[in-house]
Amino acid sequence: MKDILQTTPQTQDVNTGVTEPASVATGLADVLADTYCLLYKTHAYHWNVEGPLFYSIHHLTEEQYENLFEAADELAERMRALGALAPMTLSEIVERSVIKDAEGTPDARAMIEELAKDHERIAYRMHALVELAGKANDPVTDDMATARSAFHEKAAWMLRAIASE
């Protein structure tokens, strides 16, 4: 009897009308990597923020990292629906992402300014994914990337509002 645990994940051909599923899956892998890196960074800032706006920043970053966690799962599942494998190593996640670690230990203002910029970076990449999905006749990924872009744009706005003087 074959060991049922010796099944290795594989890519699959999927015929749903998406004309370039591999290209779309690559775009999804990039924004998934960004999402995962920002998830960790947001969570780390959530744990370590201090100062007079502690509660506000702590609460806002909690809402944001919870949203990012759910989004990572949705993005990976979309890749699987397109027949691709989601990234399986942290090194691949880090290599693909435009989100970089903070240098040193930032203060609260630097934390929120950096998170706002990171959300803008991801929104920009989501816009590119919307365009790619549209050209590939993939309205599902188009809708998902549009909604994710809206989240990142709103998150950046909220963070910038806290940092404004």
Are residues 111 and 57 in contact, defined by beta-carbon separation less than 8 angstroms? Answer: yes
Backbone φ/ψ region at 125: left (φ over 0), alpha (ψ -120 to 50), beta = alpha
Helix (H) / strand (E) element for 155: namely helix 139-163
Confirm if 38 and 5 have CB atoms less than 8 A apart.
no
Sign of dihedral through CA atoms 55, 122, 72, 48?
A: negative
The residue count of the chain comes to: 165
pLDDT at 10: 66
pLDDT tens by residue, the chain, 165 residues: 567 776 767 677 777 889 999 999 999 999 999 999 999 999 999 999 999 999 999 999 999 999 999 999 999 999 999 999 999 999 999 999 999 998 899 999 999 999 999 999 999 999 999 999 999 999 999 999 999 999 999 999 999 999 876
The DSSP secondary-structure symbol of 138 reads: -
CA gap 39, 93 in Å, rounded: 12
What is the three-class DSSP state of 107? coil
The 10 Å Cβ neighbour count of residue 34 is 28
Domains in the chain, ordered, with CATH? Answer: 21-97+105-163 (1.20.1260.10)
Letter string b/e over residues 67-81, b meaning 16 or more CB atoms within 10 A of that residue's CB: bbeebbeebbebbbb
pTM recorded for the entire structure: 0.92
d(CA 81, CA 67): 21
CB 84 within 8 A of CB 29: yes
Count of alpha carbons within 13 angstroms of residue 44, beta-carbon side: 15
Given this model, what pLDDT does residue 14 score? 78
